[in-house]
């Protein structure tokens, strides 16, 4: 009986292990390829024939195609700017819709639902026209605006959190003659750390993870202005892939590490935030 139970536990964990291996094969391959000593893709064996760090060095020696250090800085700048604007917007909208008692509250929220139905790519095209009119395509300001200007629409998860904050807290402060602005800044914000961390990481990660908007806005520009996503994508162009595949893998690994770390930090909040949002509709 005991051995049967042990066998059950073993096979259960073996199944999970097999699943994990399947899930990790491509990632392991990425890692292996990045240590390859030839610039093109190795199609005959899973592991590279020779291991080397050559292409990690090459990644930091910019040429006409590869501008990785530059791309990294570009993305970082855009991400910081986006993060600041988006976090403020999301918190402001979430607070106003959760705590505010004004007539237009419900209608505004309904409008937001409808606006969220238009796929991002769709509005993107018209935004692209508009930005082009003002000469903001192929510029980082334009891309930052695209990421952050409409971020107020993503307020629902944050509002879900604010909805659970006890109202008695505010009532007490109001009786003490506290203004709404002070309630927001000195009572609600300090008690909402988890959701603020979540919002900050989330809006910081968006420009790192995004591909579509960056491609659309920066496509026609010069290599130096690209973000990591667009730059790495261009490396896999049919005419370049034979010379740049290994560098792509190195870049992929290096950009994934900080993102993955932040992602794991966020994961805890992420699960809570999403399920909270799901429960509250």
Partner 1 sequence: MTAIKNGVAGFFAALGSFFGSFFNAIARGDAFVKLSLIIWGAGYFKRKQYVKALLMTLLEVGVILFSVFFAMQYVPKFGTLGTVQMEQVLNMQTMQMEFNDFDNSFLILLFSLFSFVVWAVAIVVWMRNVVNAYALQQAAEAGEHINSFKEDLRTFIGEKFHVTLLSLPVLGIVVFTVVPILLLIFVAFTNYDQQHMPPNALFTWVGLNNFKSLFSSGGMTVTFGYAFVRVLGWTLVWSFFATLTTYFGGILMSLLLNSKKTRVPKLWRLLLVITIAVPQFVSLLLVRNFFSNGGIVNTICANIGLTGFLRDVGLISTSYIPFLTAPGWAHVMIILINIWIGVPYQMLIATGVLMNLPTDQLESARVDGANKFQTFRYITMPYLLQVTAPTLVTDFVKNINNFNVIYLLTDGVYTTTNQLMANSQAKEVDLLVTWLFNLTQNYYNYKMAAVIGIMVFIVCAVFTLIAFNFVIGGDKEGTYQ
Among 53, 141, 169, 236, contact with partner 1 (rule: CB under 8 A): 236
Work out whether 14 is an interface residue with partner 1 (CB under 8 A): no
* Contacts (CB under 8 A) with partner 1, residues 84-103: 89, 92-93, 95-96, 100, 102-103
As given in the structure block, the two tokens for residue 263 are: 């992602």
Stretch touching partner 1 by CB under 8 A, among 60-68, 76-84, 190-198, 266-274:
266-274
* Contacts (CB under 8 A) with partner 1, residues 43-62: 43-46
The nearest distance, CB 95 to partner 1, in angstroms, is 6
Candidates 230, 217, 229; CA nearest to 129 is: 217
DSSP 154: G
Among 18, 73, 121, 189, contact with partner 1 (rule: CB under 8 A): 121
Residues 90, 107, 126, 154, Cα dihedral to 10°: 20
* Contacts (CB under 8 A) with partner 1, residues 146-165: 146, 148-153, 163-164
Q: Angle at the Cα of 92 (from 100 to 82), degrees rounded to 5?
A: 165
Task: With H, G, I as helix, E, B as strand and everything else as coil, classify residue 60.
Answer: coil
DSSP 36: B
The nearest distance, CB 267 to partner 1, in angstroms, is 7
* Contacts (CB under 8 A) with partner 1, residues 167-186: 167, 179-182, 184
Cα of 230 vs its chain's centroid, Å: 15
């Amino acid at each position: 009986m005991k051995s049967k139970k042990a066998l059950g536990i073993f096979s259960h964990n073996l199944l999970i292990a097999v699943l994990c291996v399947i899930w990790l094969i491509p990632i392991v391959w990425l890692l292996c390829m990045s240590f390859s000593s030839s610039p093109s893709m190795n199609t005959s064996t899973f592991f590279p024939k020779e291991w080397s760090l050559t292409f990690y060095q090459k990644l930091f020696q910019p040429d006409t195609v590869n501008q990785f250090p530059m791309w990294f800085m570009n993305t970082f700048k855009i991400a910081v700017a986006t993060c600041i604007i988006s976090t403020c917007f999301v918190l402001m909208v979430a607070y106003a819709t959760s705590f505010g008692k004004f007539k237009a509250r419900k209608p505004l929220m309904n409008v937001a639902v409808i606006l969220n139905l238009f796929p991002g790519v769709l509005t993107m095209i018209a935004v692209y026209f508009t930005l082009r009119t003002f000469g903001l395509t192929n510029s980082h300001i334009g891309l930052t605006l695209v990421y952050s200007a409409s971020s107020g629409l993503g307020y629902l998860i944050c509002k879900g959190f604010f909805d659970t904050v006890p109202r008695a807290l505010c009532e007490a402060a109001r009786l003490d003659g506290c203004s709404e602005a002070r309630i927001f800044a000195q009572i609600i914000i300090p008690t909402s750390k988890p959701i603020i961390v979540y919002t900050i990481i989330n809006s910081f990660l968006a420009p790192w993870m995004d591909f579509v908007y960056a491609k659309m806005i920066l496509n026609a520009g010069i290599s130096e202005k690209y973000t990591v996503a667009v730059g790495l994508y261009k490396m896999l162009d049919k005419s370049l892939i034979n010379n740049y595949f290994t560098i792509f893998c190195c870049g992929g690994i290096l950009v994934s590490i900080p993102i993955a770390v932040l992602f794991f930090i966020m994961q805890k909040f992420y699960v809570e935030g999403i399920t909270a949002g799901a429960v509250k509709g």
